[in-house]
Amino acid sequence: MKLIRSLLLLASCALLTPSQARDTQPNILFIFTDDHAPSAIGAYDAWLRALNPTPNIDRLAADGMVFENSFCTNAICGPSRAVIQTGKHSHKNGFMNNGNSFDWNQQTFPKLLQKAGYQTALYGKSHLQGKPQGFDDWAVLPGQGLYYNPDFITPTGKETVPGYCTDIVTDKAIKYLKERDPNKPFMLMVQHKAPHRNWMPALRHLHLYDDVTIPEPATLFDKWEDNAPPARHQELEVDRHMDLNFDLFVDLTPDFAFEPSQKRQDRSAYANMQRMTPEQLKAWRDAYGPKDEAFHKASLHGDDLVRWKFQRYAKNYLRCIKGVDESVGRLRETLKELGLDENTVVIYSSDQGFFVGHHGWYDKRWMYEESLKMPLIAAWPGVTKPGSRDTHLVQNLDYAETFLDIAGAPIPADMQGASLVPLLKGQNPPDWRKSIYYHYYEYPSVHMVPRHYGIRTERYKLIHFYQFDEWEFYDLKEDPDELTNRYPDPAEQEVIADLKKQLEDLRTQYQDDSDVSVKPKAWQEEMRSGKWEEKPAR
C-alpha cells in the first residue's frame, strides 16, 4: 500500500511545473526540544496551567492541532532522534542506545527532501555523533552540549559561541531564514538542548518562579509497592539520587571540591561553570547564593527535604522551558516578518516525556506514561483546523513519513511509520493503528533502568522487563497514574493473554529480532554485588 501511494505521489509531482511544485510544497519548521514533558505545556495539562509556562507554544496549539496520544518508541535522546531521521524503530536504524554510533550513510528523510527540491538545515542538538548528512547547512552541539558559551561542530570546523545555548540556536535559525534561497522550500530543524539535565536557566530567568510554589504531582511520594522489582531498583529518584550540589547547584562554584553523592553522577553543570565568564558567574551566584543560605538554615530532612529538592528542580526545569518558549515566539515572529507564515508548517515536539517528580522520579527511559508520552503540536495554515485535538495513537516513528508527505515526496516502503497528514486534515483513517510498540535497551547504564519492551493500546499497557522475566499490566482507564500493577489479577488474564498475542504480532510486524532472552540469575547476582540498592525507609 505504501509503495503504491509513493508511486502515485511521485507521478503527480512529475507532472507539475517548477512553479507549481513550489506552490504545493510548504516550508517546514520543526522545533524539537530535549526532555520536555507534555505535563509542562499549558496546552496539554492543567497541572501547571496556572503558571502559564508556555504561552508561545500554547498559541501554536491554538493555531493548529494538539496530538493527545503522541508516544516515543524508545525514551532516550539519541535513539529518538534516529527514529525521526529514518522512520524506523531502533533495531532497524541501528541506534538503540546513546552509546551507539548513527550510520549517516543510511536513508534519512532530509536526504529524500533534498531530492524533492527542499533546502535543509539543522541547528542545535543532534546527539547522533558524526557529521550530519542530508543538510545544506548545519551546526550541531557535540554530544549533549553546554548551556553556557557552547561549542558547535560545523562543516568548517569547531566554534565556540558566547551566550546562552537556546538563544544561540535560535539566532542561527533566524539567520538562516533570512539568508536562505527564497526560490526553494525549506526544512529547518531547530533542536534545543533545553530542558535537558542539568537544567541551567538563562540569566534572565534565574528569578522566575521565586515567588510561587510549584504544585507537587500526586505521585511524588510513590513507594512503587505494586510495581515489578525494577521500579524499586533504579537510580533516578528525587529523594536518593538527585544531588544537591551537581544537580541543584547548592553551593556550586567552579572551585567546588566535594565528591558527588553517587558514582554515575552527571557533572555537566559543574563543567559548564568552568566556561562561564566572570559576569555570568556573578549573576548566577547572586541568584542562588541567598537561596542556598536559606536552605542550610532550614536544615531539612525526610519528606521536607524531598519537597525542597522538587521545588528547586521543577523551577529550574521550567525556567529552561521558558527560554524554549521564547524561541518558539521569536521563530514564528520571524516567519511573519518574512511573509513565510502562511506557507510554513510549524511543528513542535520533544524526544520523549519526562518525570518532573512524578512517581518520585526525574529523567525518562521507562514505558510509564510520563516518559512514554511526547508532545506533538502542529500548525498548518489552511489545512489544519485551529484549536483542534487528535486522539489517534501516533509515534515519532511517523515523523519522517509526515515530512515527506507534506512535501509531496515519495515515502519509501521500508519506513515503518505512517504519515500524519490525514490526521492533520481532520480525517479518521479506518485502518489507523490500534496499538503502539516500545523497546528500551540501555542497561546497565545511567539510572539503571532495565531493558524492556511492551504494547500500549487506547486503554491497556503491558510491559515485559525481559531480562528478569518481570511483567506489569495497567488498565489506563481505571488507573491513569499506573499505581496498580494488575498482572497477577486472575480477572485480567484473558485481557493479558490477548495483549501478549498482540505484542508478539507487533514484534513480527516491525521485524524486531533483538535478544530478549530471560536472565533471572543476573538479577540476583547484580543485587548481591551492590549494583542495585534496596530503597531504605524514608
The amino acid occupying position 189 is M
Residue 280 in any domain: the answer is: yes
Q: Is the pLDDT of residue 164 over 80?
A: yes
Residue 300 in any domain: the answer is: yes
* CA distance readout (Å), 155 to 104, 121, 226: 15, 12, 51
Residue 283 in any domain: the answer is: yes
Residue 509 in any domain: the answer is: yes
Structural domains counted in the chain: 2
Average pLDDT in the chain: 93
* CA distance readout (Å), 393 to 50, 80, 474: 28, 17, 17
Q: Could you read off the pLDDT of 364-377 as tens digits, one per residue? A: 999 999 999 999 99
Q: Could you read off the pLDDT of 64-119 as tens digits, one per residue? A: 999 999 999 999 999 999 999 999 999 999 999 988 899 999 999 999 999 999 99
Q: Could you read off the pLDDT of 209-235 as tens digits, one per residue? A: 999 999 999 999 999 999 999 999 999
Of the three residues 265, 285, 313, the one that is the final residue of a domain is 313
The pLDDT value given to residue 76: 95
* CA distance readout (Å), 62 to 43, 45, 316, 321, 377: 8, 14, 26, 19, 10
On whether the CB atoms of residues 229 and 535 are closer than 8 A, the answer is no
The predicted model scores a pTM of 0.93
Residue 308 in any domain: the answer is: yes
Q: Is the pLDDT of residue 399 over 80?
A: yes
Residue 201 in any domain: the answer is: no
Q: DSSP assignment of 14-42, as one string?
A: HTS-HHHHHHHS-EEEEEEESS--GGGST
Please state, as a whole number, how many other Cβ atoms lie within 10 Å of the Cβ of residue 371.
27
CA atoms within 13 A on the CB side of 38: 21
Which candidate, 58, 81, 56, places its Cα nearest to that of 143? 81
Question: What number is the average pLDDT over the span 421-450?
Answer: 96
Using DSSP bridges, classify how beta strands 460-465 and 452-457 pair: parallel, antiparallel or unpaired: antiparallel
d(CA 268, CA 383): 43
Q: DSSP assignment of 328-383, as one string?
A: HHHHHHHHHHTT-GGGEEEEEEESS---SSGGGB-S--SSSHHHHB--EEEE-TTT
Quote the DSSP letter at residue 70.
E
For cell 518525570, the residue is 355
d(CA 313, CA 266): 14
Range of the domain at 220: 207-313
d(CA 373, CA 416): 19
Q: Is the pLDDT of residue 538 over 60?
A: no
The pLDDT value given to residue 17: 37
The pLDDT value given to residue 45: 80
SS3 labels along 121-181: EEEEECCCCCCCCCCCEEEEECCCCCCECCEEEECCEEEECCCEHHHHHHHHHHHHHHHCC
Query: Which cell is 191 given?
Result: 533542536
Of the three residues 278, 313, 348, the one that is the final residue of a domain is 313
Residue 522 binned pLDDT confidence (cut-offs 50, 70, 90): low
Residue 234 in any domain: the answer is: yes
Residue 248 in any domain: the answer is: yes
Q: Is the pLDDT of residue 19 over 50?
A: no
> Residue 504 is part of a domain; what is its CATH number?
3.30.1120.10
The pLDDT value given to residue 47: 85
Q: Is the pLDDT of residue 294 over 90?
A: yes
Of the three residues 260, 291, 313, the one that is the final residue of a domain is 313
What's the angle, vertex CA 403, arms to CA 424 and CA 370, rounded to 5? 70
